Amino acid sequence: MKTLYSQLPAIDSLLRDPALQPLLLQSGTAFTTRQLRAMQQDARAHIQQHQTLPDWHLNWPQEAQRRAQQQQQSALRPVFNLTGTVLHTNLGRAQLSERAIEAVTACLRQPVTLEYALDDASRGHRDRAVSALLCELTGAEAACIVNNNAAAVLLMLAALAPGREVIVSRGELVEIGGAFRIPDVMRQAGCQLVEVGTTNRTHLKDYRAAISDNTGLLMKVHTSNYQIQGFTHAVAEAELVALAAEHQLPVITDLGSGSLIDMTAFNLPAEPMPQQLIAAGVDLVSFSGDKLLGGPQAGIIVGKQALIDQLQQHPLKRALRVDKMTLAALEATLQLYRQPETLREALPTLRLLTRPPHEILQQAERLMPALEQAYDAEFSLSIAACSSQIGSGSLPIERLPSFAITFSPRDSHGSSLDALTQRWRTLPRPVIGRIQEGKLWLDLRCLEDEAALIRTLTA
């Protein structure tokens, strides 16, 4: 075994090896030296365990280069989302429009007027440009931007009802991804939750009976990630606003995945819009920027000027505020809504949600020959109708007709499907599908660059 250890090259000799010079130029001496020392340790451990040298011992420079490339690879890698979920939380939710991407790039290349007012050279408010657009699109008096909708809910509660009661229907005590629950947020905000009604039915009289001298506000929560059907009843915002006015209480609504457009105009299921609730008299409405809106991750609050001022002045606002990149992307996204006639093509989220099934089928038919040639020995491929979902808690029970290419193992072993998906996850641009009914499904709804997929899967 001592003979094996003696065959390990010295660091100094490796650093002088001409084959290692490209890595030294690319990564520097310190990084390369650390890499080689780690390889020596791995080689010693391999000798101790197997009484033999590792397979790569004859080509240290090549192995060092391979490891360096692996370590320097970004953790946020582009993937092909063929899962059938358009707004996939684990894959980054909404894809930004080209206009938003250009806006972010521009604000990174030079100084920008983030908090600088050009008219009088004073310090401005970073939400101002986006606020004006949101007021134009929703009819609200003012707007506030934070880093996500969970933060928006926390800020509204903490600023408007600390130490006081907040009345919510039992059927609206939602939990979203990551175990984020409305009751937990209430506690963090220093509020006392008062539940009214039942899971499936809540009436105006339930809210009226619960109002006390310690009531801080009435709250509605849109159940965007589930639906209760059957024998149900919920109180409309307009009714709640009228009741709240009798007691001089504010009404806030958490819309979650709120959309700024009428989804039915694009043959999609209806979703409540912030402008509808503002028109109904709701004092504050919050919603996400990276769901149906199709922009960057952000929590958007629109509503009455006096209440927005309270939010802006609360200490939590500074902790929850967004940076210039988010504001640039959000402003550019909102600009697209000024031209609804071009929105479908300009906004990737809407474009993917509204892809006609016949176009997806034609795409599958174009892909089949190349994929069959590459995988026919191991798998039986076919085109199958399937259903996509919107995702990220938006319209949870609605499905979008789509088509997928399915892979069925010829040996009838599910392990071969697992091996295939694992292999695809190691590709330079990983391919992510879903395994269901003993098959691997590649739902093509979100595939726009089919040539790149063919190159990836047939290389």
Residues 347-360: what's their mean pLDDT?
A: 96
Confirm whether 80-90+352-458 and 98-346 share one CATH topology.
Answer: no
Beta bridge partners of 285: 253, 302
- Tell me: pLDDT of 293 over 70: yes
Please name the CATH architecture into which domain 98-346 falls: 3-Layer(aba) Sandwich (3.40)
Mean pLDDT of 124-128: 87
Q: What is the pTM of this model?
A: 0.88
Q: Which residue has the higher pLDDT, 398 or 380?
A: 380
Give pLDDT, residue 233: 83
Average pLDDT over residues 440-450: 96
- 80-90+352-458 belongs to CATH 1.10.10.10: no
pLDDT bin (cut points 50, 70, 90) of residue 278 is: very high
Q: Look at 92-101, 131-140, 397-406 and tell me which has the smallest mean pLDDT.
A: 397-406
pLDDT band at residue 393, thresholds of 50, 70 and 90? low
Instruction: Give the whole-angstrom CA distance, residue 47 versus residue 458.
Output: 37
pLDDT for res 397: 62
pLDDT of residue 178: 58
Closest CA to 137 of 256, 252, 262: 262
Average pLDDT over residues 334-349: 95
Q: Where are the domains of the chain?
A: 4-72, 80-90+352-458, 98-346
pLDDT band (50, 70, 90) for residue 356: very high
pLDDT at 396 over 80: no
Taking 70 as the threshold, does the pLDDT of residue 69 lie above it? yes
> Does 395 have pLDDT greater than 60?
no
Instruction: Kindly state the percentage of the chain with pLDDT values over 90.
Output: 69
> What was the pLDDT predicted at 133?
96
Classify residue 56 by burial, with Cβ atoms within 10 Å: 0-12, 13-18, 19+.
Answer: middle
Per residue in 20-68, pLDDT (tens digit) is: 999 999 999 999 999 999 999 999 999 999 899 999 988 989 999 988 8
Residue 416 has pLDDT above 60, yes or no: yes
* pLDDT for position 318: 93
Evaluate if residue 394 carries a pLDDT over 80: no
State the pLDDT at residue 398. Answer: 74
pLDDT tens for residues 204-260?
999 999 999 999 999 999 876 666 777 778 889 999 999 999 999 999 999 988 789
Most confident of 118-122, 249-253, 388-392, 397-401: 249-253
The predicted pLDDT at position 186 comes to 85
| Predicted pLDDT at 80 | 97
Report the 10 Å Cβ neighbour count for 436.
12
- Identify the pLDDT of residue 224: 63
* pLDDT the model gives residue 179: 61
